[in-house]
Every structure is written in structure tokens, then in C-alpha cells.
Structure 1
């Protein structure tokens, strides 16, 4: 039995946005089979709902690109793909997120957003460019349960970075998605070595 408590443990979700989770998103075609197989959205929402009921803090590390980000002079293949396809795009830093866009949060999570801490956006895959570390430490968190998208990129990058920065990590393996089974399997294998546990959502909730 894991020693979770709501004083030092939190849920962190990467990219719970339409881009990879809903048909409107440009990445949905890559992930839809895995989302269906593992019931990713249902488990993600259940994790948030039950953790919130039990007094656990939830953090979202979202992905946003603004017009000025398209002026970057170099980047990796995944980064270039997202920029060229207009993924996670927002028209302005100052205007609200366009409702129903790929950058928008999935509707199922919107009832909980007022109680969730949303960090500044991460820009590529990991949390090195946002304030997730600061927000977690200021809230007394040293143990994290990860969920979200995509398992082989942002989830894994966030997990590795948090572990290297002294946090203890767990992953809800049916509350994550990926662009295909091979990517999912590779990520969960790696996460099994990096973290203190990769478990189904129901098991993690029972331990909260």
C-alpha cells in the first residue's frame, strides 16, 4: 500500500486538451485507438474527480503555442510538426482560449478547472520551460501521480524531469494516451523503470 496523503501528494496532468483527445484535434487520428482501448478520458476524469473529493490538489501542465512561437529558428521533428500543423495554437497571449479549439481543455474536465492549478504552458515536451516545479514545491508536494497525453512524449518527459528533481512519481497507466500501441508500450515500459509505480487508475484511487 502506497503512503499517499493530501498534504504532500498531487495529481499532475499533461495536455488534457482537445488536440489529441477529441475528433476536433489534429492529433486525434493518431491516438483514438489507444484512447478507446484504455478508456483514457473516463479514467482521467475519474482520477480528477475522486482525488478532488479527497482533498488532493490537481495541477495541469498544458501545451500552448502563440504566434511568436512560429518565429523559432530550429526545432525537433515533433516540435516542428506541432507548429506546422497549428496544434495547441492560440491567437493571443491575452485573449481567452478559443472554445472548442485544439488548445481548449476537454469539456469533461471543465467543471473541475476552478479547483485545478494550471501552470504556465510548457513549450516542447517537459516542464523545464514552465512553473510546475515552483507550483508543486510552494504547495508542499513531493509525490506526484501523472496522467495525460502523450505517454511517450509529454508524460514521460515530465515524469523523468520530476524524478530528477527529487519528486517521487507514480503513473496512472489507463489515464494516459499515446499515438499507437508501440508508443504506449515503450512509454509504459520506460515509466516502469523510472517511477515508483505504474498502476491502473482504480488502484491508485483506492490508495488515496
Structure 2
């Protein structure tokens, strides 16, 4: 893949406290992987590189509103997210208690994400972007190549990778700018994601490699 600021964008999934802060409700599951990959540092580096290079940045966030908790069924991790109040907000038009909550961005990311240029899409609701406006926002800006990063590797990042490929985008994943849960019964989510990244993506890059491409 050849990156070009007119056709290539960085896409971040769930760069939020619920996943990436030691105070987040999932830290017990994902913290080891986040620290091993230096995920927070790498996401911040990608944001800096993308902004410096004139690349568009899109965020596909994860929010749950009170009406979402009335769903009658869900998958294993989906139900867990509802049970622990992950990404909860008081309403789609209400920012009460939002600042510094699990649904908010990490403070380190805010200068980049709140610069007035970053495109914050409507929330995805399970793992993929099928239910939000990410694809529309990308196409409206003439983007044909995307670089996904963020959380979590085998869930939202992989689901975005798959759907964006199906939608006709070229996709290069940044393998060390994500992380995933490790669970004694469910397995090692990051290891599972890496296998699929290598099978599916147009390219699997490190943060260092991605920054070199963005700077060309």
C-alpha cells in the first residue's frame, strides 16, 4: 500500500478510558496486553504523525445509552460490556458525567481528537462499523485507504478491518497500536487477532513503519 494524505486516513476504534486507562472497567482483562504493546504510546504517536502529515483522522467510538441496556440478547463479551457499564452515557444528547468517564477519550489523546478537524463518527454498537456512519464519512472525503488502530484487536479493530475490506477500502492494520483481553477460559484475544490480521489485511505494520510511511 502506498499512503497519500489525500486518499488515506487513520481510523481509531474506541480510544477511550474504558479500555486504555488503568482505572477502566476492562483493565483487568486488557491491561497486560496494553502495556506489553505500549498501545497508548503508539496511538499517541500515530495521532501526532497523522496530524503532522496532513492525514485525516476518524474515530469510531463505542457508546451505550440507557435504551441499549434493554436489548434482550447478545454475545459473550457484548453482554459483559453491558453488565459492567462499559462506555455508558446518560443519553445521546446528554453529556452529564461524560468528562473523564469510561466513555471519554484518554486525556493524552484529547489535543488531537478535539482539534476541530478529527471526524468523530456516530457510535458503533457491537464491534463493526455497520451501524454507524464511518463508511459514509470516509467516502465523502474521498478516502480509499484506511489505517485502523485502537481497541480492541480481536473485536472492534478486526470487525472494522473486515467490513472496510468488504466495502472496497484498502486496509493496513497497525499491530502494536492495539491490544486485547487475555482470559483463562476464552483465550488470548491479541494472539487470535494477529493471525487474522496477517490473513486478511492488505498490510500489517508496526507503529514505527506506519510513521515512516506517513512521513513520506
When normalised by structure 1's length, the TM-score is 0.96
Residue aligning to 1:91:
90
Moved more, 168-177 or 92-101: 92-101
Match of 1:130 among 125, 129, 132: 132
Is residue 191 from structure 1 mapped to residue 191 from structure 2 by the alignment? no
Partner SS, residue 13 of structure 1: strand
Deviations 1:63-99 (A, max 9, x none): 0000011111221121111111111000121122611
Deviations 1:111-168 (A, max 9, x none): 0122310000000000000000000000100101110000000000000000011000
Q: Distance in 2 between matches of 1:95 and 1:110?
A: 19
Instruction: Judge conservation of contact 1:24–1:101 (CA < 8 Å) in 2.
Output: no
Q: Distance in 2 between matches of 1:24 and 1:183?
A: 21
Q: Distance in 2 between matches of 1:188 and 1:134?
A: 27
Q: Distance in 2 between matches of 1:202 and 1:51?
A: 13
TM superposition shift of 1:53: 0.6
RMSD: 1.1
Structure 2: unaligned runs, 5 residues or longer: none
Match of 1:177 among 169, 176, 179: 179
Residue aligning to 1:20:
19
Structure 1: unaligned runs, 5 residues or longer: none
Q: Distance in 2 between matches of 1:34 and 1:14?
A: 16
Residue aligning to 2:57:
58
Residue aligning to 1:111:
111
TM superposition shift of 1:109: 0.7
Match of 1:162 among 161, 164, 175: 164
Q: Distance in 1 between matches of 2:4 and 2:86?
A: 36
Q: Distance in 2 between matches of 1:12 and 1:93?
A: 22
TM superposition shift of 1:182: 2.2
Is residue 140 from structure 1 mapped to residue 142 from structure 2 by the alignment? yes
Instruction: Judge conservation of contact 1:63–1:121 (CA < 8 Å) in 2.
Output: yes
TM superposition shift of 1:26: 0.6
Q: Distance in 1 between matches of 2:76 and 2:42?
A: 30
When normalised by structure 2's length, the TM-score is 0.93
Q: Distance in 1 between matches of 2:14 and 2:76?
A: 19
TM superposition shift of 1:38: 1.1
Q: Distance in 1 between matches of 2:23 and 2:93?
A: 23
**Following TM superposition, where does structure 1 have runs of at least 4 consecutive aligned residues deviating by more than 6 angstroms?**
none
Q: Distance in 2 between matches of 1:28 and 1:101?
A: 14
